[in-house]
Chain A
């Protein structure tokens, strides 16, 4: 009997998602970003099946953070009070593909800023840069439900990626994102069963699955990255197997998680190497690891880590 040729036989693929709306499509973005489309596992087989290049969304906070380590904050001291300038710096100087506006400051335990502030920040960033935006709430459900619909409205027609919605808090933001023409981030706590369920729930509300990006939660290097990795990998395999409820591109939050690790910022640790390198390396390593599991959009913070990861992406996705 002849030895058969073993071929890849995946029937499904990751959805291709385009973020941002230019003037022609009713928005004001000067460029759009397309992610997803993979028809194989990462590095599996031919480049034709690799899908779109992953992209980096750099974090811009809605207000000056007071808990960023100096080594990270020093890159942004001149712009931290102006989200528009901050976004501009990320794009023009640090090569971000898009901007993730994180509304940390609206959290009641932080600065408890109001919707008017969040809307102003959204408008400023939209004016300052032409790339598509990710608009991300504080994680405090009640406050997000008050503020994020206003943010959505302020970016109406811009085809932003807005989030996140969870299993027990999805209705308000899903409805408004649908009305305002945005893409939606579905969020699960490192639990693939819940991840699928959230997708089903938003789909039941009539939100198109083709406009969903999943967030499985992220663990940094040394802090649960293996869980995030295996979930991302499983999501990709399910997508390739034809599961429409798991065929979305994925976003991960590397910047926040990597800089939470003490290894990235502890100065008094002579055995761990120079702290100036350690933080960016921690962030870049976390990002590159998750890229290999199959994430499409990476939220990042340190310019040197961004440069390293961009270089990696460009070499792999040639």
Chain B
């Protein structure tokens, strides 16, 4: 399971403060802690912490890279912020550009742009592509799959390895009125997306979104994650510092026979599977 640690995000108070005071320590601590907890990538999101989003993205990346070699996942809806990040990132061990829709009303070619940026960043750089288009986020299964198919096709046309493609079928909060059916729709869409190419594209979700505004957030997160894994999800943006969540991932992988059982299977999960 490719776990993308979500904590370096300007929406969190400690990160926001660190950005405001240019205090590197809390950021570097989060990088270290998340890596030790099993993060394959560290998500980097400026959030609403600063007016200068480009400069802040660069400061965050440089701060993390001073003490950590864990690959980064640049998280912004703005192309210019991702571009600014790519100028200072070390993508040798990998990087993820997070994220692009299939197309936008004011930018039909946005997916192409992301693919090109990833190509320029290096041979191990990937992108997260959302199953949404200029019409917004689809509510049904078929449209999600159709958009995913267009994304995969576009990647193939451009010679972009589908192993560098993360399809995000978009998780919606389960407590939004009439949205409770969406979790099931997502799983049904995943069942089809995994057959769009061979090898399959990766699939990822912003997990914490499922429990937004609910009680029992951690429980909802980890149960949904385990279920989604059995439908082909092989990556997620998560709170890796939630030990029970990582234990659920380890257990799900073991039950799916992706990891060989041993009496210490929980203990070794994060160390045994580091690339």
Contacts and interface: CB of A to CB of B under 8 A. Distances in A.
B199 A234 contact: no
Given A242-B275, A245-B268, A1 B156 contact: yes
Given A1-B153, A4-B162, A6-B199, A243 B261 contact: no
Contacts of B267: 200
A14 B265 CA distance: 20
Contact of A245 (B197, B198, B199, B262): B262
Contacts of B273: 242-244
Given A2-B156, A9-B163, A9-B199, A246 B260 contact: yes
Contacts of B274: 244
Contacts, number: 51
Nearest to A238: B260
A260 to B, nearest CB: 28
Nearest to A12: B275
Contacts of B271: 244
Contacts of A241: 258
A243 B264 contact: no
A298 to B, nearest CB: 23
A4 B268 contact: no
A6 B198 contact: yes
A7 B199 CA distance: 8
B209 interface: no
Given A1-B153, A238-B260, A200 B275 contact: no
A48 B267 CA distance: 34
Contacts of A243: 259-260, 272-273
Contacts of B261: 193, 196
Given A1-B156, A4-B156, A243-B259, A200 B268 contact: yes
A16 to B, nearest CB: 17
Nearest to B153: A1
Given A200-B268, A243-B273, A244-B272, A193 B262 contact: yes
A290 B199 CA distance: 29
Interface string B141-157: 00000000000110011
- Secondary structure class of chain B's binding surface, majority of residues: loop
A241 B275 CA distance: 10
A217 B149 CA distance: 48
Contacts of B265: 196
B107 interface: no
Interface string B241-270: 000000000000000001111111101100
Contacts of A4: 156, 162, 197-198
A197 interface: yes
A197 B262 contact: yes
A285 to B, nearest CB: 28
A77 interface: no
Interface in A191-209: 192-194, 196-197, 200-201
A21 B98 CA distance: 50
Interface string A261-276: 0000000000000000
A7 B260 CA distance: 24
A11 interface: yes
Interface string A284-312: 00000000000000000000000000000
Nearest to A203: B268
Interface string A222-248: 000000000000100010011111100
Interface in A176-201: 192-194, 196-197, 200-201
Given A4-B162, A6-B199, A9-B199, A196 B275 contact: no
A69 to B, nearest CB: 37
Given A1-B156, A245-B268, A11 B275 contact: yes
A238 B273 CA distance: 10
B255 to A, nearest CB: 13
Contacts of A197: 262-264
Nearest to B267: A200
Q: List 7 tightest A-B contacts by C-beta distance, closest first.
A: A196-B262, A197-B262, A245-B272, A200-B264, A244-B272, A193-B261, A196-B260
Interface of A: 1-2, 4, 6-7, 9, 11, 192-194, 196-197, 200-201, 234, 238, 241-246
26 contacts: A1-B152, A1-B156, A4-B156, A4-B198, A6-B198, A6-B199, A192-B260, A193-B260, A193-B262, A193-B263, A196-B261, A196-B262, A197-B262, A197-B263, A200-B262, A200-B268, A234-B260, A238-B260, A241-B258, A243-B272, A243-B273, A244-B272, A244-B274, A245-B262, A245-B268, A246-B260
Given A192-B260, A196-B265, A200-B268, 10 more contacts: A4-B156, A4-B198, A9-B163, A193-B262, A194-B262, A196-B261, A234-B260, A243-B272, A244-B271, A245-B260
Interface of B: 152-153, 156-157, 162-163, 197-199, 258-265, 267-268, 271-275
